[in-house]
Amino acid sequence: MATTSRCYRCGDRYEDPARVRCTCGEPVWFETDTAAFSWDGCRDYDGMWRYEPLLPIDRPKGIARAAGGTPLVRSEGLDAVAGCQVYVKDEGEHPTGSYKDRGSAVAVPHAVAASGGAVGTVSYGNMAMSTAAHAAGLDRECVVLVPDEIPSVRLELIDQYDPTIVRVDGDYGALYDDALELSTELPISILVSDAPSRISGYKTALFEICEAFAPDVPDAIVLPTSSGGFASGIWRGIRDLEAAGSLDEPPRLYLVQTDTSDPLTRAFDAGVADPAPLTDDEIGETIAHSIGNPDPPSGGRALAAVRDTGGSVVSVSDDDIRAAQRQFAVDGGFCVEPASATSLAGATRLSERGAIGSDDDVVLVPTGTGFKELGTGDASIATERANRAALPERLASLLTDT
Ligand SMILES: *Cc1c(COP(=O)(O)O)cnc(C)c1O
Ligand SMILES: [Zn+2]
């Protein structure tokens, strides 16, 4: 099990595997021994455990084995709207429907092996489901801290794995810091969005993309971003492959935020290293529930990743997101959640700006399935009607080619 973590910014090292942040304030990540790595030497395992030699734990049993190995699909139908050669890395095809499973598949077994207590998380969305599922898979107690006013459909999704759900009254955003403290005081490992073990799991998405393209490399990756955890994992993956001599020119990393809460876009545009937390009146409502952290704990690292790879950060509106969600389905066949649709909306914006070109190979990463987000009761959907006896005639009149 990996024990040495390091700060990307100041280089300080730590030997405590549960450590999340450096004394300088930035998040730490696990060091990787890349010396012996090559694509040919990957394990003959399904999914992300192919890259076991670069992960901090050995392949666990159970549901964790189902993480990773998501399809990378060339999607010509989306080229016109995105303005580039589109590839879709469909992260919604995970056991709990989002890329979070890559992180939980490492973080939960890692925490279980390191200590005897419960595992937990602060989330009422994909992170909550994913953590609870992986804890259930290892028969370990799980505590999920949710906001008091959580919608019942979300409770139902989380509750199916039978964690202890605690509704917390008060400043939910401030729970990130509380979680780090509670984990040292109580017999529980609260696995936050940027726990080093999660970041190790996230990097396997980058490995899968790069291995699929090898010996070529995609020009760009477009990623919805909130806390900056996934972006950090992608960057960690790039750095691992560079250190292993398996990647010369990294793909440019583009991050997309919702314009109702976009501290990273603001910081990028202002040319500063760290995002400033947004105040309550700077934050708006959005349909992209899975993104919009006003104070992203891995924000500085995500910005460093963008600058290191020559990418940028863009924001998109809810209207852009609705349109992109529909285009994903109609022009690509993908059912993605609104947060994930920002990858397409962001690509459109980037090609309008000239940041990506029509010949660029661009990987869009829809981070989560749309299945959980549907069922809004919208009755305005256009349908046709027909009597069974008259169906052949009715159908003939509807088919364009008859
Ligand atoms: C968590 C999540 C994100 C944001 O990831 P961060 O690591 O917080 O930046 C984006 N999309 C979906 C579907 C998510 O669940
Ligand atoms: Zn540091």
> Please, what is the average pLDDT of the chain?
95
Taking only the tens place, the pLDDT of each residue in 274-313 is 999 999 899 999 999 999 899 999 999 999 999 999 999 9
Given a cut of 80, is residue 4 above it in pLDDT?
yes
Q: Give the atom of ligand 1 at the shortest distance from the alpha carbon of 194.
A: 7
pTM of the model: 0.96
Given a cut of 60, is residue 402 above it in pLDDT?
no
- For residue 398, what are its two tokens? 């509807």
CA of 28 to the centre of ligand 2 (A): 7
Residues whose CB falls within 8 Å of the CB of residue 72, separated by 6 or more in sequence, listed in order: 87, 88, 89, 90, 208, 209, 212, 363
Given a cut of 70, is residue 375 above it in pLDDT?
no
One-letter amino acid identity for 85? Q
Which residues fall inside 5 Å of ion ligand 2, going by CB? 7, 9-10, 12, 22, 24, 26
Taking only the tens place, the pLDDT of each residue in 187-202 is 999 999 999 999 999 9
Beta-strand pair 72-74/85-89: antiparallel
Q: What is the mean pLDDT of residues 389-393?
A: 91
Taking only the tens place, the pLDDT of each residue in 203-260 is 999 999 999 999 999 999 999 999 999 999 999 999 999 999 999 999 999 999 999 9
Separation between Cα atoms, residue 212 and residue 90, nearest integer Å: 14
Task: Please name which ligand lies nearest the alpha carbon of 6.
Answer: 2
CA of 160 to the centre of ligand 1 (A): 21
Given a cut of 80, is residue 14 above it in pLDDT?
yes
Separation between Cα atoms, residue 209 and residue 203, nearest integer Å: 10
Q: What is the mean pLDDT of residues 62-76?
A: 98
CA of 224 to the centre of ligand 2 (A): 25
CA of 26 to the centre of ligand 2 (A): 5
193 lines ligand 1 (CB under 6 A): yes
